[in-house]
Amino acid sequence: MESIVLASAGRDAETVFSGGGDLTVVAAFARSFYMRDAGGRLACVGGPGLGDGPLNALCEHAPAIPAAGAILSTGIFDRRRMTRWRPAPPGALKREGLRARLAAVAAARPRGLAAAIPALLGSPFESADPFVAAAVTPLLEIRDWTGGDPPEALSRLVGLGSGLTPAGDDAIGGAAIAFRATGRTAQADALADWIRRLAPDATGEIARAHLMATARGEGSAALHAALGALMTGGEPDLAAIDAIGHSSGWDALAGAVAVLAQA
């Protein structure tokens, strides 16, 4: 396989590349692929359109996609121009106008679990989507959680939905990031501990890796940007949210909005 020139990498991806040894391709898609190192850590490699994130390594050009099960050497990755990606600080929370900004997200016809945002804002809500309907009560409990152990209903979100990162997992991750970003440290730490205890046995390998990153407050760059905009009075880039997975961006934003609704 030809050398792959890396442009940026998040914390988890950088750890995978710096560890040396062979890497096993565990999932391959049209434009990206996941690899596992000998220690079980994951990195996702793709072109610039993949977007930055803790597990993501962006190439200068779209890479050739190896088959699942292929063994790659870390030596094929050229890291000489690679920069380390870190999420930008969100800025101070501006409560004035926050509800209107959240209502604008609800009015933008969001997909996935974000369709439940009207319920988080106190509006009457019903959904024919069983995944959305199942998520409403846990999301409301995230919204209303003021301290102590995480709500028991939160466990209903783990593994809820299909795909590599189920919608419920994405929502939990979005909430974890939002608690950290808004300075609600007690809840952020409690939720992080809960994720670390539950995730190893309750969800899939790739979803688990992303959840563990959110436990320390890191997710996709698009989510951080949207959260920062909502917090500080800007306009979130919902097109960037929409571009993440089947509905993963929206699902994560639902968890973040649950936190912001009572910030």
Establish if 89 belongs to a structural domain.
no
- The token duo for 161 is 């939905």
Instruction: Inform me whether the pLDDT recorded for 200 exceeds 70.
Output: no
What pLDDT sits at residue 203?
Answer: 79
55 with 44: CB under 8 angstroms?
yes
Establish if 91 belongs to a structural domain.
no
Last residue of one domain, picked from the residues 29, 60, 84: 84
User: Is residue 119 within a helix (H) or strand (E), and if so which, with residue range?
Assistant: helix 117-120
Establish if 92 belongs to a structural domain.
no
Last residue of one domain, picked from the residues 24, 56, 84: 84
Q: How many CA atoms lie within 13 Å of 14's alpha carbon, on the beta-carbon side?
A: 15
Mean pLDDT estimate for the chain: 94
DSSP strands (E only) in the chain: 4-9, 22-28, 32-36, 42-46, 56-59, 71-73, 77-78, 83-84
What pLDDT sits at residue 238?
Answer: 97
Establish if 171 belongs to a structural domain.
yes
Containing structural domain, residue 47: 4-84
Kindly report the pTM of this predicted structure: 0.95
- Phi and psi angles of residue 233, each rounded to the nearest 5 degrees, phi first: 100, 10
Tokens 């929370």 found at: 93
Rounded to whole angstroms, how far apart are CA atoms 175 and 139? Answer: 9
The pLDDT tens digits of the residues spanning 95-154 come to 999 999 999 999 999 999 999 999 999 998 888 899 999 999 999 999 999 999 999 999
What pLDDT sits at residue 143?
Answer: 97
Establish if 118 belongs to a structural domain.
yes
Rounded to whole angstroms, how far apart are CA atoms 189 and 195? Answer: 10
SS3 label, residue 56: strand
What pLDDT sits at residue 1?
Answer: 66
Query: Could you tell me if 79 and 107 lie in one domain?
Result: no
Query: Could you tell me if 59 and 157 lie in one domain?
Result: no
Last residue of one domain, picked from the residues 84, 115, 140: 84
Q: 22-26, 188-192, 198-202: which has the minimum mean pLDDT? A: 198-202
The pLDDT tens digits of the residues spanning 73-93 come to 999 999 999 999 999 999 999
Query: Could you tell me if 123 and 69 lie in one domain?
Result: no
Query: Could you tell me if 142 and 256 lie in one domain?
Result: yes
Query: Could you tell me if 75 and 131 lie in one domain?
Result: no
Smallest CA-to-CA distance from 250 within 141, 139, 97, 149 is with 139
Query: Could you tell me if 69 and 41 lie in one domain?
Result: yes
Establish if 201 belongs to a structural domain.
yes
Count Cβ atoms within 10 A of the Cβ of residue 89 and give its class: 0-12 exposed, 13-18 middle, 19 or more buried: exposed
Query: Could you tell me if 54 and 107 lie in one domain?
Result: no
Establish if 227 belongs to a structural domain.
yes
SS3 label, residue 257: helix
Query: Could you tell me if 190 and 137 lie in one domain?
Result: yes
Smallest CA-to-CA distance from 175 within 119, 134, 223, 235 is with 223
Query: Could you tell me if 198 and 126 lie in one domain?
Result: yes
Query: Could you tell me if 110 and 212 lie in one domain?
Result: yes
Instruction: Inform me whether the pLDDT recorded for 7 exceeds 80.
Output: yes
What pLDDT sits at residue 204?
Answer: 87
Amino acid (one-letter) located at 184: R
What pLDDT sits at residue 199?
Answer: 63
Establish if 93 belongs to a structural domain.
no
Rounded to whole angstroms, how far apart are CA atoms 85 and 250? Answer: 22
Count of domains for the chain: 2
